[in-house]
Amino acid sequence: MRYLSSGESHGPQLTAIIEGVPAGLTLTAEMINQDLRIRQQGYGRGDRMKIESDQVQITSGVRHGVTLGSPITLVIKNKDNKNWGHVMAIEPIDEHDYEIKKVPRPGHADLVGAMKYGHRDLRNVLERSSARETAIRVAVGAVAKQILKALDIEVISHVLQIGKVSVTNYPTTISTIQAAIANSPVRCVDSDLSIQMCQHIDEAKQQGDSVGGIVQVLAENVPAGLGSYVQFDRKLDAKIAAAFMGVQSVKGVYFGDAMMASSHFGSEVHDQISYDQGFTRMSNHYGGFEGGMTNGMPVVVQAMIKPIPTLYQPLNSIHIDTKEVEESMIERSDSCVVPAAGVVLESVLAFELAKEILEEFQSNQMSSLIKAVKCHREAMRDF
């Protein structure tokens, strides 16, 4: 299974084409739209979310609510494009008719992207590098979630930290986490800390600043044996880490209790093996992985999210033509994207797991895939 996405932040639309989804999967636009709505929520989002109400259109690969096995095309229209039609025009226009962006933002792709591709207008970079692209990735991930759901695998995210406010005690099961974050505007399991996180975001916004944090993403009921130890590029945790790092603003990824494990004795962190109707572990410090393979425990991944580079009290930068010091440009942006980033990373994890499952159990039909995974689970249990 693979996909490509295309589109710019203020262009007409975002598009993805997914290839390799088995035939026979129940799929509707509303299943995808549920995740798109959650992505748009979260305390600290900017005015763009007041303009967009993301709705996906499925334009191929599905008939009567069921996948056909052919490529699936997903489209999300950018409502804000009506205000940017001239600036983002496909056909040539007079460069004096619009503002050319010349002062890059520290921490953004603006400058290096322009240097790499030879652009003298930074908008040519910022439009595609914008996190607006994650909307279509959430749509793709929602398709992957439907595959996982058919295999009784669930995925969820929650916020561990925003700025200096962090959660130290939190549940470890998806059902408990889901209930705990239901009424939190920052998707945090602790209601008191949720309030503090919101206050911290408000402080950053009032100062024209931004704030980052840490999210945790979990998957339950993942079969043991996905991935492989035989080659470095077949290790599933390595693939997931790379995919997470491909999400805008993610600057670090670790599995399970890796931050703790790095400073403790091995006797304190290795997950001891036990047996109860199949092999299991007495703890899950390694986040469901051993030797690059899933071990049957929940997959647990943390991602560190940097603060958004656009600041309403901008930092100094350099004009790419005059080479003079100027304040970096301002684009409409969020104060905090940590809760939304968690939703995006749910989609990323769901896609990587579904992709690995389809590589392990090559199936053209969902019914065949379900049978193959069931047989595999039984073989793992009976080993």
Residue 345 tokens read as 């990373």
Residue 104 among known ligand-binding residues:
no
Residue 128 among known ligand-binding residues:
yes
Residue 248 among known ligand-binding residues:
yes
Residue 309 among known ligand-binding residues:
yes
- Burial (CB count <10 Å: 0-12, 13-18, 19+), residue 117: exposed
Residue 39 among known ligand-binding residues:
yes
Residue 145 among known ligand-binding residues:
no
Residue 363 among known ligand-binding residues:
no
Q: How distant is the alpha carbon of residue 119 from its chain centre?
A: 28
- Burial (CB count <10 Å: 0-12, 13-18, 19+), residue 325: exposed
CA distance linking residue 98 with residue 88, whole number of Å: 10
- Burial (CB count <10 Å: 0-12, 13-18, 19+), residue 305: buried
Residue 137 among known ligand-binding residues:
no
CA distance linking residue 85 with residue 101, whole number of Å: 17
Residue 381 among known ligand-binding residues:
no
CA distance linking residue 256 with residue 250, whole number of Å: 17
Angle at 270 between CA 268 and CA 274, to 5 degrees: 115
Please, are residues 293 and 236 in contact by the beta-carbon 8 Å criterion?
yes
Q: How distant is the alpha carbon of residue 12 from its chain centre?
A: 22
- Burial (CB count <10 Å: 0-12, 13-18, 19+), residue 324: exposed
Residue 130 among known ligand-binding residues:
yes
Please, are residues 125 and 110 in contact by the beta-carbon 8 Å criterion?
yes
Q: Where are the alpha helices (DSSP H) in 53-129?
A: 110-117, 123-129
Q: Tell me the residue type at 291.
A: G
Q: Residue 329 contacts by C-beta under 8 Å, 6 or more apart in sequence?
A: 101, 102, 103, 104, 105, 110, 122, 314, 317
Q: Tell me the residue type at 10.
A: H
Residue 45 among known ligand-binding residues:
yes
Residue 251 among known ligand-binding residues:
no
Binding residue numbers: 39, 45, 128-130, 248-249, 291, 306-310, 332
Binding residue numbers for NADP(+): 39, 45
Binding residue numbers for FMN: 128-130, 248-249, 291, 306-310, 332
